[in-house]
Structure 1
Amino acid sequence: MTTTSTGPTGPSPRRRTPVRRRGRSSVHPSPVLRLLALLSVVLVATPVIFLGVQLAGQPDGAAWAALWRPRTLSLTLNTVGLVAAVTAGTLAIGVPTAFLLARTDLAWRRGWQVLTALPLAVPSYVAGFAWVSLTPLRGFWGSVVVLVLVSTPYVTLPVTAALRRADLDVEAVARTLGCGPVRAFRTAILPQIAPAAGAGALLAALYTVSDFGVVAIMRFPAFTWAVHTAFSGSFNRALALVLSVVLVALALVIVLAERALRRRAAAPGPVRVGAAAPVRLGGWQVPSTVLLAGLTVAALGVPVATMVVRSVVSVAEREAELARLGEAAVVTVLLGLAGAALAALLALPIGILAARYRTRSVGALETATYLGHGLPGIVLGLSMVYLTLELVPGIYQTPLVLVLAYALLFVPKAAGSVRAAVSQVPVSLEQTARTLGRSPVGAWFAVTGRLAWPGVAAGALLVALTAMKELPATLMLRPTGTDTLATRLWQLTDIAAYGAAAPYAVTLIAVASVPAFLLSRHADRQADPT
């Protein structure tokens, strides 16, 4: 696009100088970095490609017969309805909670910041088991309640950060023009936090699509439960593959919606520096505190208290497997950390490219990475079983396969953190290091890598937290004779040994609380550095 300027000789074309965003580089990415990113994407996409190849190899008509069964349509409607309800619920709870934490004079705000993030440490199947044992909740609404409670932090955390960094001058202008506080917030602040709220809600939607534990406990016929039944029960290969492909397609629709939302989001305005005057709650102080306390009890207190009481009874009755519990805890932590390290390693080239360059090829690589983000654990486990048995049977049911599965499932979480962390480092700092004689790699590690390290570590923590709770892929891929806290918990609850299962649930929550707490502190520092 060009503009014209009038000089002595008449109009002459003048090129518009491109505006470079902070952290973007005008230099083409190095072939090595692009190759590393491509290899990471190929690894992430391999299970989906393999599913398609396997599906194409089924007997004529078998796939179509499985696809057009009335049961498949019913499962689709059930899953879509569940995703819609959970997404709406997380927004309805998460946005007001974030407003209380970020914009008001709520008492004990930092404490509530931590408590509203800790439900991330509660595995959905543990929360589901607790609610089933205490209430008559079952089926669709039981699944909705539990999934909303454990998924709301996906909305609360990013919206809180967005509210704390929002430009308040626009809201002040709206107030001076006669808008009331609600209308001013809706017209001036809501557009600024909409991308964060949408991204969080879509994460909750992806979590709902991939969840297996809650729908199985609540006996709600959703896709993940049907895939697991087809694989482990009747071992109907064609049906399992068809349901897996439909589930991946549904998840990819959500991923593409997330990408479209990010592309349509307006460029961020000025970032607020320093604290703004909080909104005084006045008479709403007590109701707000009661609301947060109720949500904390429902999301955190009910599962923790239920499991602690059952654990005490289990120890008193000598039902607890203390030695096996300790071994499972160690295995869980080691596998989670190994999966997080591999995911962060695979995410580095993708995140760096996405942060520094905005070309079609880089955008395509980043989009392809989200195949893993939309790939439910049960589908990945199914594809990894077939893949290892046909290509490298020697590594089947070894820790290597499980660590690789964790990395493929959760590398997009790490890539998003890498992209955000690297984009916050001005590219001029790296260029200055180059002028001082450092090589490109040396300059990156000395400047960008050093400054972006906290964000990269936060992404790895998120992967470790999620991997420790992962159930369906772990059930399929764990080495023979090896238990994690999640798999042993599921085995015991499956045979109604609830007392013996409770210590595993408590230990799993305690272990996962450490990265959840660190993530809440990191988000708080990023949102409010003062």
Structure 2
Amino acid sequence: MRSLLGRLRSDDGDSLPLGLTLLAAAIAAAAIFPLSWVVLTAIEVEPGRAFELLVQPATREVLLNSVLLMAAVTVLSILIGVPLAYLTVRTDLPFSRFWSVVVALPLVVPSYIGAFAFVSAFGPRGEFHELLAPLGIERLPNIYGFPGAVLVITLYTYPYVYLTTRAALLSFDTTLVEAARTLDHDRWSAFRKVTLPHIRPAIAAGGLLVALYAVSDFGTPAIMRLSVFTRQIYVEYHAFGQDYAALLSLQLLAIVLLVLALEWWVRPDETVHSNLQGAGGGTPVSLGRWRWPATLLPASVTTLALVVPLWILGLWLVNAEGGRRPSFAFEWSYAVNSVTVAAAAAVVAALVALPVGYLSGRYDSPLSNLLDRATYVGFAVPGIVLALALVYFGARANSLPAAPQLYPTLALLVFAYVVRFMPQAVGSIRPSTLQVDPKLVEAARTLGDAPTRAFRRVTLPLIAPGVVAGGALVFLTTMKELPATLMLRPTGFETLVTHIWRAQASAYFQYAAIPALLLIVISGLSMVVMLSQERLGR
């Protein structure tokens, strides 16, 4: 009985520590709790009206567009991110250090800024059209709609796959590939049979983040005029259609749960470990005559994702007209506020993701996997829905006697960031944990180390790159988060994204250019720091 109370059993026979399991369960419950507001609101809708709303043509269109958008973006992101990770880590690609950083930088550009830039550049009367007009080209392909949304979201989400795959490749024991080559496996066969099984969990983790981002993004589909769940929910909330918005939110949550279950199903059953002695090293794969042509892939992707928005922001800054508006003047406190809350969210998210990611990576059981999947739900919920839920609960908490003021406070804002973006840290920590050979921990235990000491001395140093990468991802996405920041920030607390939003909403683009560029620069510097921790040099 004592054994049953103190331990839980995993599928492979290992025991799940009760304390760690309860901690992970508490974290998962805290991440899911705000969503109860959606459920409570939806069940109040009369069944007949609910059925009528859910089967109407507009709902079917929203469902189809959302699913197709998510699928297309995920597939394209994998097709871009995995080759880029392999090229920059395992081959003799020219200027690989440079490309390692540059191809990750699109993640620092908010997708809504990218969408504005692409519309301004490639729209019917955009800047690119004006450049081609002297050549007799009167019309460009329509950038609006499904193709434009897929293009923009892919360009700013493929780094999720790139970074998780890159982290797995850097911690991969390359001597295994060399051993396969000595057994007469060609390069493709060695990759398929040795490398791919090791990096599949990382690819799945990155693909999951892309899928959830694509189905929860609001800004890009709205700008591209594509009717999806997030856009329709936003419209209904502001049109006082709370019933319909709640029902759409439930449908969106059902899709999220389906995606989580699908990723769980395709996740490899086997756990792949490495002693990391050959990690990140080995002889680079020679590209031969394809060495220089291979640079066309990172060059073309980064040109679209980085050069286009920087070009448009520069034009906004130089060519914008109109008188000065003191109320839109930029202040450095906006940047300080952005960095402060993003750093706080990154630290907290990394700390709370560590128990969940370690538990699901170290112990293979339905319970540990369920807790891991539960944390991903918050990432897929639109920021506007999560913010409204926290406003609802925060306002009621304020009315309780002797209760501290909860809304609007920075603590509630940071909590929203953690709920939204903790899966990024979990998705980075879990694959790193899978790479750690349990025999190393067992050796430390036989030498007298307690479980906590063995984790601190053996496991934590090995998974540190994953922890750093996860925290950096949270920092980057927190810097860009708009809906939650607008609704939950304390009065007078301005950040870069709120200033950009105010300037763009009022069509004073010249006042949006400076904070947008500064946002990209700060996030870019954090990306450089993160990648430098992953042993760029080989």
Q: CA deviation at 1:443?
A: 5.6
| TM-score of the pair, normalised by structure 2 | 0.82
Question: In the alignment, what sits opposite 1:239?
Answer: 244
Question: In the alignment, what sits opposite 2:386?
Answer: 380
1:486 aligns with 2:497: yes
Distance 1:482 1:299 in 2: 30
1:408 to 414, 419, 427: 419
Distance 1:217 1:319 in 2: 25
1:49 to 9, 30, 36: 36
Distance 2:284 2:461 in 1: 34
Question: In the alignment, what sits opposite 1:473?
Answer: 484
1:499 to 495, 501, 510: 510
Contact 1:212–1:472 (8 Å) recurs in 2:
no
Question: In the alignment, what sits opposite 2:17?
Answer: 29
1:212 aligns with 2:218: yes
1:168 to 177, 182, 189: 177
CA change 1:386–1:60 in 2 (3 A) is farther
Bigger drift between 266-275 and 234-243 goes to 266-275
Question: In the alignment, what sits opposite 1:40?
Answer: 27
Question: In the alignment, what sits opposite 1:15?
Answer: none
1:224 to 230, 233, 238: 230
Bigger drift between 257-266 and 87-96 goes to 257-266
Secondary structure, counterpart of 1:455 in structure 2:
helix
Q: CA deviation at 1:98?
A: 3.0
Q: How do 1:392-403 and structure 2 match up within 5 A?
A: 392=398, 394-403=405-414
Question: In the alignment, what sits opposite 1:275?
Answer: 282
1:108 aligns with 2:95: yes
CA change 1:85–1:30 in 2 (3 A) is closer
Question: In the alignment, what sits opposite 1:457?
Answer: 468
Distance 2:248 2:456 in 1: 44
CA change 1:451–1:265 in 2 (3 A) is closer
CA change 1:64–1:389 in 2 (3 A) is farther
Q: CA deviation at 1:115?
A: 0.6
Question: In the alignment, what sits opposite 1:262?
Answer: 267
Q: CA deviation at 1:145?
A: 1.1
Q: Which deviations, in whole Å up to 9, do the C-alpha atoms of 1:201-239 show, x marking residues without a partner?
A: 23211111111111111121111111111112x021101
Question: In the alignment, what sits opposite 2:296?
Answer: 290
1:143 aligns with 2:154: no
1:132 aligns with 2:104: no
Contact 2:202–2:431 (8 Å) recurs in 1:
no
Contact 1:397–1:480 (8 Å) recurs in 2:
yes
Contact 1:255–1:373 (8 Å) recurs in 2:
no
Q: Which deviations, in whole Å up to 9, do the C-alpha atoms of 1:33-66 show, x marking residues without a partner?
A: 3332222111111022332122112345343332
CA change 1:265–1:130 in 2 (3 A) is farther
How many residue pairs get aligned? The number is 500
Distance 1:85 1:51 in 2: 28
Q: How do 1:422-437 and structure 2 match up within 5 A?
A: none
In structure 1, what residue type is equivalent to 2:263?
E
Question: In the alignment, what sits opposite 2:202?
Answer: 196
Q: CA deviation at 1:495?
A: 2.4
Bigger drift between 334-343 and 270-279 goes to 270-279
In structure 1, what residue type is equivalent to 2:114?
A
Contact 1:66–1:238 (8 Å) recurs in 2:
no
What residue ranges of structure 2 are gaps of 5+ in the alignment? Answer: 1-9, 124-142, 400-404
In structure 2, what residue type is equivalent to 1:223?
F
Contact 2:93–2:292 (8 Å) recurs in 1:
no
Q: CA deviation at 1:312?
A: 4.5
Distance 2:254 2:54 in 1: 13
Distance 2:451 2:300 in 1: 53
Distance 1:189 1:421 in 2: 15
In structure 2, what residue type is equivalent to 1:244?
S
Contact 1:343–1:410 (8 Å) recurs in 2:
yes
Question: In the alignment, what sits opposite 2:82?
Answer: 95
Q: Which deviations, in whole Å up to 9, do the C-alpha atoms of 1:329-370 show, x marking residues without a partner?
A: 111111111222222232233233324433333333222222
CA change 1:25–1:485 in 2 (3 A) is farther
Question: In the alignment, what sits opposite 1:364?
Answer: 370
Contact 1:120–1:153 (8 Å) recurs in 2:
yes
Distance 1:196 1:34 in 2: 23
In structure 1, what residue type is equivalent to 2:250?
V
In structure 1, what residue type is equivalent to 2:100?
Q
In structure 2, what residue type is equivalent to 1:403?
V
Q: CA deviation at 1:515?
A: 2.2
Q: CA deviation at 1:298?
A: 0.8
Secondary structure, counterpart of 2:156 in structure 1:
helix
Distance 1:293 1:269 in 2: 33
Distance 2:216 2:43 in 1: 24
CA change 1:171–1:353 in 2 (3 A) is closer
Bigger drift between 360-369 and 34-43 goes to 360-369
CA change 1:54–1:427 in 2 (3 A) is same
Q: CA deviation at 1:266?
A: 6.5
CA change 1:278–1:365 in 2 (3 A) is closer
Distance 1:456 1:104 in 2: 25
Distance 1:173 1:208 in 2: 42
Question: In the alignment, what sits opposite 1:16?
Answer: none
Question: In the alignment, what sits opposite 2:134?
Answer: none
Q: CA deviation at 1:256?
A: 1.9
Bigger drift between 515-524 and 80-89 goes to 515-524
Contact 1:124–1:146 (8 Å) recurs in 2:
yes
CA change 1:268–1:444 in 2 (3 A) is closer
Distance 1:48 1:246 in 2: 13
Q: CA deviation at 1:455?
A: 3.4
In structure 2, what residue type is equivalent to 1:144?
V
CA change 1:275–1:37 in 2 (3 A) is same
Question: In the alignment, what sits opposite 1:152?
Answer: 158
Contact 1:347–1:412 (8 Å) recurs in 2:
yes
Root mean square deviation, CA, Å: 3.3
CA change 1:461–1:168 in 2 (3 A) is same
1:334 aligns with 2:377: no
Q: Which deviations, in whole Å up to 9, do the C-alpha atoms of 1:139-173 show, x marking residues without a partner?
A: 21111111111112222233345556364257637
Distance 1:162 1:464 in 2: 21
Contact 1:122–1:150 (8 Å) recurs in 2:
yes
Structure 1 vs Structure 2: percent identity of aligned residues?
Answer: 38
Contact 2:353–2:426 (8 Å) recurs in 1:
yes
In structure 2, what residue type is equivalent to 1:134?
A
CA change 1:443–1:96 in 2 (3 A) is closer
CA change 1:420–1:498 in 2 (3 A) is same
CA change 1:334–1:207 in 2 (3 A) is same
Contact 2:80–2:158 (8 Å) recurs in 1:
yes
Bigger drift between 394-403 and 329-338 goes to 394-403
In structure 2, what residue type is equivalent to 1:88?
V
Distance 1:25 1:140 in 2: 48
CA change 1:270–1:419 in 2 (3 A) is closer
Contact 1:105–1:278 (8 Å) recurs in 2:
yes
Distance 2:354 2:80 in 1: 33
In structure 2, what residue type is equivalent to 1:518?
V
Bigger drift between 56-65 and 395-404 goes to 56-65
